[in-house]
Structure 1
Amino acid sequence: MPAPLSDHNLILDTDSYKSSHYLQYPGGTTRLFSYLESRGGKYPTTRFFGLQYILDQYLTRRVTAEMVEEARTLIEAHGEPFPYDGWMRVVNVHGGKLPLEIRAVPEGTNVPIHNILMSCTNTDPELPWLVGWFETMLMRVWYPTTVCTQSHAIREIIKEALDKTSDRAAEELPFKLHDFGSRGVSSRESAGLGGLAHLVNFQGSDTLEALRVARNHYGADIAGYSIPAAEHSTITSWGKEHEVEAYRNMVRTFGKPGGIYAVVSDSYDLKHAINVHWGETLKKEVIESGATLVVRPDSGDPPAMVRLAVKALAAKYGTTVNKKGYQVLNHVRVIQGDGINEDTIRQILQNLLIDGFSAENVAFGMGGALLQKVDRDTQRFAYKASAGLIDGAYRGIYKDPVTDPGKRSKDGVLDLVLEDGRMTTRAYYTFDTDFPGSLMRTVYKDGELTVRDTLDDIRARA
């Protein structure tokens, strides 16, 4: 059996062909500048998030001689040349710290598409190819940024409905979209980083991994909250004939004054569960408990099932008309966690408005559609070189394919600034600039984080 490879060798976290690029740049190249942008996509703005985690988790590690030897052995056997002398320079001259400078917009900032979000350049003129080597790793910020962007867009949809129909919009909004996505993602890291991206915008989550990432990398004690909730196994294990006893157990166990708990209620017959079990048999206990019961329909067409549940619960528990003229259920609420996406949320909220119910009656649980049904092209992310210093002279670097003008890349040493109240990308045609009026910050330099935001900082900014 071959010797196992290290899980922590950051040299190996790149694409194979990157290892040949040090031989491909023009002779005399001493500096490269690359940038990250969203070239368009589903949303008109991008809410930047997650770079601090990537830098803290990976790029603050020191490169060792052992890492270099391991990488050379693997990459050369793999069929690629390897810049051994360059990597040993990182070890011997820089103490294993990467001679890179990374600038970025503050996390949580909402930036119009087609603008720079992050830049990377080398600080050692002998090692310009490092800027491209870490494209693969740095590009992965597309994932938490896209989750954060989508979550924020849905937040705005829910906020609009609450503002129109609720007296308690500010209190209700943080808990209206709950993350159910941990089991539907590809890895533990995706759950943690994607789950935390959602928590920039909301405070409800069942993804514990997001809380771990928040505490370890963003200084958050408790990043989000959950409530006791039933799943189908905890209800159906009582047997169909004892379904009401399963519900009664939930009421008696979790029905404390001021509490809140959720019970999936479609295991057999949702209408019967609401109209008979919840609406008659257990109604008195639910009311006298002083807690809020959240009924969860979990099958069928989401807009239709939520409409059914809200109307049936209103008939059994009654409603109170708020100051904005919309009905609020007494003692109970509804959460829909199946088939939830941006479109079904819009439809459910529209139905509530048409029927005269406040949006505060319903919360949403979102799983795969929140954390997994996104990709790099959702916002068309690109990381491209845009400037170089070659034989001591500045040179713009860009591509402009005739076959796809939308892929023309920017050239220049780029920055993000405000011009006439609008964010815009400014290009300098020299490396000799201190970026006056910049909206970006140096967040990483020569192996160290230079800025460390807390989740509270990011939420306040967002």
Structure 2
Amino acid sequence: MTHLSDTNIILDTDSYKASHFLQYPPKTTRLFSYLESRGGKYPATRFFGLQYILKRYLSTVVTAADVEEARSLIEAHGEPFPYDGWMRVVTEHGGKLPLEVRAVPEGTLVPTHNVLMSVTNTDPELPWLVGWFETMLMRVWYPTTVATQSYSLKQIIREALERTSDHAEAELPFKLHDFGSRGVSSRESAGLGGLAHLTNFMGSDTLEALRTGRNYYGTDVAAYSIPAAEHSTITSWGKAHEVEAYRNMVNTFARPGATFAVVSDSYDLKYAINVHWGETLRKQVEESGATLVVRPDSGEPAAMVRLAVRALDAKFGSDLNSKGYKVLRHVRVMQGDGIDENSIREILQTVTGDGFSAENIAFGMGGALLQQVNRDTQRFAYKASAGLIDGHFQPIYKDPVTDPGKRSKDGVLDLVMENGRYVTKQYQTFDTEFPGSVLRVVFRNGELLVDDTLDEVRGRV
């Protein structure tokens, strides 16, 4: 038994795809497929992550050894294998995939039910390649869905800040921090999902997202973090010396202009704020010129944040901003336990309802940010919609009577802007110049044609 290559992209498909070259009508020379969100939780999607897939995988050069390996495995697996076709990729195309991919610019917010990406073949002998890579290309659903959810949460926080803060635009990029790396299924998910979040925010503890940002989206440092305690670093001092653990944090990290976070509910949050922070260490915190972020990590989120904000106000005081909301002096609160869309809304309503600015609060989000999504969150689909068969154009679509919502589009699809709205055009021919298209050719014949930076992606909403 030989080891299988980790870089053989021929194997990155569904097993049954290997038999499809025998299933299309005779003399099929062209196929066209598209990706769309058929609806879901959010009314629009923020497209992101295709560039990573194209760079990391689809740009790989296929070798004769890859073809032989794939044939050996797939035939033993019980499927036929298009050996001659794959060897044509190697011999006629130098191992580069004869495909063309068009897509909306990454970071664009597109209403659901519109084409986001299209794929067609450039070699008339190899139309089945369009379907072969559905599995790989479909995975763009994941970073797109994370970016979409993160964007939606940003709008909730934005509204609260604009209503209650004098510094909404400066505060907003750091109000939702990613703690999701340990909660995802793989290092790749952490990197790609974490970077998807960073299309909207600039705070993260997912280092893998920084690696992905630098290697695939041309950004030196995609996000920022601050020194922060966890329960082990506090409780290792023992309950009797809890205040010394806090004092060590102040002595080590409190400098003018610095920010540091300390989880403070290892034993008793209220006592920690009222006595340790509010009396014993208050003067040292105030004189340090730093900002202390107190972090509750248990209990009902909105109630714990309310307790913390009120107690810190009683000890450190606050100032009224121009909008009539209180801003804590020297301290802030971060809630990182039980955070999702509902708890964010509840916390913001509770805090601002008590007369405090939303700038007093930041959120940390883990598994709910990067893992609690799936392909059906936005109902993603990759479908064939047109073919060229014996020289004749053939619309391709499905229309199941049992589920009209799964009716797929037909034709050669394009996305345009009309009267300020995105509209999907359906052409019944491959001979079109796509006038006014929003889609860009991002990949053709094994070459990446568009290489966006993260800053460009961030600027597109």
1:359 maps onto 2:358 in alignment: yes
Partner of residue 30, structure 1: 29
Three-state SS of the structure 2 residue aligned to 1:183 is helix
Q: Deviations over 1:321-350 (max 9, x none)?
A: 000000000000000000000110000000
Three-state SS of the structure 2 residue aligned to 1:461 is coil
Residue 108 of structure 1 aligns with an amino acid whose one-letter code is: G
The CA deviation at 1:454 is 0.4
- Aligned 1:197-346 pairs, distance under 5 A: 197-346=196-345
- Aligned 1:54-453 pairs, distance under 5 A: 54-453=53-452
Partner of residue 52, structure 2: 53
Residue 433 of structure 1 aligns with an amino acid whose one-letter code is: T
User: Unpaired runs of 5+ in structure 1?
Assistant: none
CA distance in 2, matches of 1:173, 1:152: 12
CA distance in 2, matches of 1:307, 1:40: 36
| Aligned-residue RMSD, C-alpha | 0.4
Q: Deviations over 1:417-460 (max 9, x none)?
A: 01222101001100001100000100000000011100011111
The CA deviation at 1:126 is 0.2
CA distance in 2, matches of 1:399, 1:386: 9
CA distance in 1, matches of 2:395, 2:302: 53
CA distance in 2, matches of 1:87, 1:163: 56
TM-score, normalising length: structure 1: 1.00
Q: Deviations over 1:37-86 (max 9, x none)?
A: 00000000000000000000001110000000000000000000000000
CA distance in 1, matches of 2:173, 2:57: 31
CA distance in 2, matches of 1:283, 1:406: 60
CA distance in 1, matches of 2:10, 2:302: 49
Residue 126 of structure 1 aligns with an amino acid whose one-letter code is: E
Q: Deviations over 1:359-407 (max 9, x none)?
A: 0000000000000000000000000000000010000000000000000
CA distance in 1, matches of 2:359, 2:71: 59
CA distance in 2, matches of 1:53, 1:419: 30
Residue 260 of structure 2 aligns with an amino acid whose one-letter code is: Y
CA distance in 1, matches of 2:200, 2:304: 27
How many residues align? The count is: 461
CA distance in 2, matches of 1:40, 1:59: 27
Residue 399 of structure 2 aligns with an amino acid whose one-letter code is: D
Partner of residue 42, structure 2: 43
Residue 76 of structure 2 aligns with an amino acid whose one-letter code is: A
CA distance in 2, matches of 1:89, 1:332: 65
Q: Deviations over 1:177-206 (max 9, x none)?
A: 000000000000000000000000000000
The CA deviation at 1:240 is 0.4
CA distance in 2, matches of 1:22, 1:184: 39
Residue 129 of structure 1 aligns with an amino acid whose one-letter code is: W
The CA deviation at 1:352 is 1.3
Q: Deviations over 1:160-192 (max 9, x none)?
A: 000000000011000000000000000000000
CA distance in 2, matches of 1:382, 1:301: 38
Q: Deviations over 1:226-249 (max 9, x none)?
A: 000000000000000000000000
Residue 190 of structure 2 aligns with an amino acid whose one-letter code is: A
What stretches of structure 1 move > 2 A for 4+ residues in a row? none
The CA deviation at 1:461 is 1.1
1:9 maps onto 2:15 in alignment: no
CA distance in 1, matches of 2:56, 2:337: 34
CA distance in 2, matches of 1:251, 1:421: 52
CA distance in 2, matches of 1:207, 1:400: 42
CA distance in 2, matches of 1:132, 1:351: 50
User: Unpaired runs of 5+ in structure 2?
Assistant: none
CA distance in 2, matches of 1:237, 1:421: 58
Three-state SS of the structure 1 residue aligned to 2:118 is strand
CA distance in 2, matches of 1:140, 1:191: 14
CA distance in 1, matches of 2:330, 2:312: 10
Residue 331 of structure 1 aligns with an amino acid whose one-letter code is: H
TM-score, normalising length: structure 2: 1.00
CA distance in 1, matches of 2:274, 2:339: 24
